[in-house]
Amino acid sequence: MSVEIVHASDRGAHAVNITIDDGPDPTWTPQVLQVLRDNGVKATFCMVGPQAEAHPGLVRQVVAAGHRLCDHTVSHDTAMDKKPEAYQSQQIIDAERQITKASGGVRPMYYRAPGGAFTPYSRKLAASHGMRPLGWNVDSKDFERPGSAAIISTVEGELTNGPTILFHDAGGDRSQTVEALHTLLPWLKQQGYAFGFPVR
């Protein structure tokens, strides 16, 4: 398992990886799953451990629909790269355990540091647990809720940066994200993009 942060898609050069962070959330994850289902798209869900633990049914729905799981730590601490290794370890390993338990035994394939706060140690630790460190190329900025039109134009404008696109299904009202995905997924298909998973 490589310790390098992956951005590439397993479907090659003209493909995108849809990644969804901070859930699962009982309001928004089902809506995101529905849009993905409607468009026949598979995504990677970067889950926060306690959220997974609180909503195991949702984690299992994500897995059953053919999506992949990613460890997004216990506390979503965007300054964890400044913290001791023991703390980083606890954040990653405890979340891995919580997600795996919630999913019914399906382990996360990736590790995404909150806010991209990776360290050489955390990347190596994740890889040693079979989780590829996962970055992103396109930040949809949906976290800030700028309106679905702004989310759409950000993604369309930044696609040349690379294939891995960051969205959120938790952390507040995600109706704009759902709305943006309704437009973006068919648009990406029209542009000839395939939908893949980050390479492992």
Q: Can you give the residue ranges of every domain in the chain?
A: 15-195
Residues with active-site annotation: 21, 168
- Using CA atoms, how far apart are residues 164 and 69, in angstroms rounded to an integer? 15
For residue 133, list its beta bridge partners.
111
Q: Name residue 58's amino acid.
A: L
- Using CA atoms, how far apart are residues 140 and 129, in angstroms rounded to an integer? 29
Q: What is the pLDDT of residue 24?
A: 98
Residue among 100, 88, 168, 82 nearest 126 (CA) = 88
- Using CA atoms, how far apart are residues 50 and 74, in angstroms rounded to an integer? 6
Per-residue model confidence as pLDDT tens digits over 154-189: 999 999 999 999 999 999 999 999 999 999 999 999
Q: What is the pLDDT of residue 1?
A: 79
Per-residue model confidence as pLDDT tens digits over 85-118: 999 999 999 999 999 999 999 999 999 999 999 9
CATH architecture classification, 15-195: Alpha-Beta Barrel (3.20)
